[in-house]
């Protein structure tokens, strides 16, 4: 390194002499600078040809990489874990699992674009359901929670490879919900919940999210337009809510109501302080979906929210 530093300094000095000569009045031929620089470059090339090793890592890097590889990953900070995985994929560009792990660590560091590239590299080597799901979730994070077409495609691939993977089913349902298709969303969520064991933490997470989203009142654009028509009767907000509850009640009792219809009916009645009516609707819904373990899990969340008839909340 000292030799290269010295050569670089000599080149700099020669160039400086050549450039500054006219301003200093020095009697230096104009060809002196280029000739000196060329000679020094040839000398630098000869030294590097004799002692250079372009394919070998520098001593500091090699030492740090060895220390990272020898360390317990759980004891490394996030950046060190990322660099450790980079060391691994540098040595073996076809290590699909290392690329996937690198993508997960980059996603934790909120470096989504780098994470996406790592996941795609892993999938090009070995398609795995978990990696497709991680890719989809990273795309969602990059798009602030929206299940974009790219994310949807990743989750569909994960779902085809492993339907027992809870994240794939949940996010496919979320994508359907964001597109206004509550029936498909409920189907994905109930199917996913039916495959999960009772003690699986994902079961409660998905149940709560599904209950929250499916119970939100769905704004009917046609009903809004009709209410805003000039000849429409003037109704108070309470009267409009009562009308919505009446329509929901008629739909579920006719046997045409979906799980979402039942959940909206339960939620709106509870919001109107008709707790008894909400509990009665919940009991009917539980009987209606008794054979659907996924729907039962979602309704259990509603039961916890409004409590039992004995006053338990």
User: At 247, is the pLDDT very low, low, confident or very high (cuts 50, 70, 90)?
Assistant: confident
Residue 299 pLDDT exceeds 50:
yes
pLDDT at 96 over 90: yes
Average pLDDT value for residue range 152-160: 98
Q: Is residue 20 part of a domain?
A: no
Q: Which pLDDT band holds residue 38 (cuts at 50, 70, 90)?
A: low
Dihedral sign, Cα of residue 11, residue 60, residue 119, residue 168: negative
- Residue 221 pLDDT class (50, 70, 90 cuts): very low
Q: Around Cβ 214, how many Cβ atoms within 10 Å?
A: 25
Q: What is the pLDDT of residue 228?
A: 46
How large a percentage of the chain has pLDDT more than 90? 58
Q: Say if 206 falls within a structural domain.
A: no
Higher pLDDT among residues 154 and 13, named by residue: 154
Whether residues 160 and 98 fall in one domain: yes
Average pLDDT over residues 71-78: 83
Please report which confidence band the pLDDT of residue 254 belongs to, taking 50, 70 and 90 as the band edges. confident
CA distance 175 to 168: 11
Considering only 5-19, 182-196, 254-268, 274-288, which range has the smallest mean pLDDT? 5-19
**Residue 129 structure tokens:** 């359901």
Name the nearest CA neighbour of 242 among 208, 214, 275, 265.
Answer: 265
Residue 76: what pLDDT?
Answer: 87
3 state DSSP class of 37: helix
For residue 306, give the nearest of 280, 214, 258, 260 by alpha carbon: 280
Tell whether 35 is covered by a domain. Answer: no
Confidence (pTM): 0.74
- Same domain as 113, residue 159: yes
**In the predicted structure, residue 88 carries a pLDDT above the cut 90:** yes
Whether 180 and 74 map to the same domain: the answer is yes
- pLDDT value, residue 226: 44
Q: Which residues, at least 6 apart from 58, have a Cβ–Cβ distance to it below 8 Å? A: none
Is the domain of 180 the same as that of 268?
no
Q: Tell me: pLDDT of 290 over 80.
A: yes
Higher pLDDT among residues 15 and 176, named by residue = 176
Residue in 209, 151, 158 with CA at minimum distance from that of residue 185:
209
Residue 25: pLDDT band (50, 70, 90) is low
Residues 6+ apart with CB under 8 A from 195: 163, 164, 166, 169
What pLDDT is recorded for position 78?
94
Centre a 10 Å sphere on the Cβ of residue 219 and count the other Cβ atoms it contains: 7
Gap between the terminal Cα atoms of the chain: 74
- 151 and 252 co-located in one domain: no
Same structural domain, 175 and 259: no
257 and 178 in a single domain? The answer is no
The tokens describing 120, both together, are 């795609």
Identify the residue with better confidence: 83 or 239. Answer: 83
| Count of other CB atoms within 10 angstroms of residue 193 | 25
Shared domain check, 228 and 154: no
pLDDT at 63 over 60: yes
Is the pLDDT assigned to residue 229 strictly greater than 50? no
CATH code, domain with 129: 1.25.40.10
Supply the pLDDT for residue 66: 72
Which stretches of 83-209 are assigned E, i.e. beta strand?
none
Residue 236 binned pLDDT confidence (cut-offs 50, 70, 90): low
Residues 161 and 242 in one domain: no
**How high does pLDDT run on average in the chain?**
83
Domain count, the chain: 2
Do 238 and 169 belong to one domain?
no
Q: Identify the weakest region by mean pLDDT among 78-87, 128-137, 225-234, 240-249.
A: 225-234
Range of the domain at 268: 221-306
CA distance 243 to 249: 10
Q: pLDDT digits over 100-150, tens only?
A: 999 999 999 999 999 999 999 999 999 999 999 999 999 999 999 999 999
């Amino acid at each position: 390194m000292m030799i290269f530093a010295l050569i670089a300094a000599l080149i700099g000095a020669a160039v400086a002499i050549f450039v500054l000569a006219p301003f200093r009045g020095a009697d230096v031929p104009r060809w002196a600078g280029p000739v000196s620089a060329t000679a020094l470059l040839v000398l630098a090339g000869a030294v590097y040809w004799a002692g250079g090793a372009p394919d070998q890592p520098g001593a500091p890097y090699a030492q740090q990489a060895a220390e990272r590889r020898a360390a317990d990953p759980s004891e490394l900070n996030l950046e060190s874990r990322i660099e450790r995985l980079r060391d691994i994929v540098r040595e073996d560009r076809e290590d699909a699992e290392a690329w996937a792990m690198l993508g997960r660590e980059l996603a934790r560091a909120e470096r989504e674009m780098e994470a996406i590239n790592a996941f795609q590299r892993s999938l090009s080597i070995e398609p795995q359901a978990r990696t497709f799901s991680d890719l989809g979730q990273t795309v969602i994070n990059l798009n602030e929670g929206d299940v974009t077409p790219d994310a949807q495609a990743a989750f569909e691939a994960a779902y085809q490879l492993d339907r027992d993977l809870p994240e794939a089913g949940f996010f496919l349902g979320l994508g359907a919900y964001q597109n206004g298709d509550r029936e498909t969303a409920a189907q994905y969520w109930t199917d996913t919940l039916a495959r999960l064991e009772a003690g699986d933490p994902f079961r409660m997470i998905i149940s709560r999210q599904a209950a929250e989203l499916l119970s939100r009142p769905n704004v009917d654009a046609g009903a809004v337009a009709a209410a805003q028509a000039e000849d429409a009767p003037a109704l108070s907000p309470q009267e409009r809510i009562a009308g919505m509850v009446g329509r929901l009640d008629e739909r579920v009792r006719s046997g045409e109501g979906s799980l979402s219809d039942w959940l909206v009916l339960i939620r709106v009645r509870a919001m109107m302080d008709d707790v008894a009516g909400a509990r009665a609707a919940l009991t009917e819904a539980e009987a209606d979906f008794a054979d659907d373990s996924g729907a039962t899990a979602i309704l259990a969340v509603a039961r916890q929210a409004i409590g039992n008839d004995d006053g338990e909340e």
